Amino acid sequence: AESADVLITTKDAAGKDQVITTELSKVVSLKDDKGNEYAIRKFGAATTAYYSLLKPTFQHEKITVYRAVIPVRFKDYVVKKKGDDTGVKSSMFNARKQLIDYLSDCAPLTEKLKSGAIDRNEKVEKIAEMYTTCGAGGQ
């Protein structure tokens, strides 16, 4: 399905339990009771589009990687720099090139990605970690 029905349990201003029923496509983000923030993004093409609930798998003040937890069968991700609400998605056409372009403010890292010095199968979380050290003598 393009979207899914979700039940969100929360507390109102008085501390009373409240249940919200909505569609995943109408949720922008949410935060759990431990303070973890989740994102919702649409993936796929027009006829096969679907929404995913993503949780942060790498967080740093400069960059965050979100991975799909619903639906679990997909390995979708979104990479977002601080201050950017859009980021880049794994389902974008030429996703690797898009990621390299997105991280182009770290020339040493993008050169390693372009040249193959960093394996094409390297996890995006590791690439994000390398990005955080850019300009600090790490990359």
User: Is the whole-model pTM more than 0.85?
Assistant: no
In three-state secondary structure terms, 136 is: coil
Q: Each residue of 1-34: b (16+ CB within 10 Å) or e? A: eebeebeeeeeeeeeeeeeeeeebeebeeeeeee
Question: How many helical (H) and strand (E) elements, i.e. helices and strands, does the chain have?
Answer: 3, 8
Mean pLDDT for back-to-back runs of 10 residues, the chain (139 residues) = 74 89 82 84 77 90 91 81 89 82 95 93 94 70
Q: What is the pLDDT at residue 3?
A: 67
Length of the chain counted residue by residue: 139
Q: What is the pLDDT at residue 137?
A: 45
Distance of CA 41 to the CA centre of its chain: 8
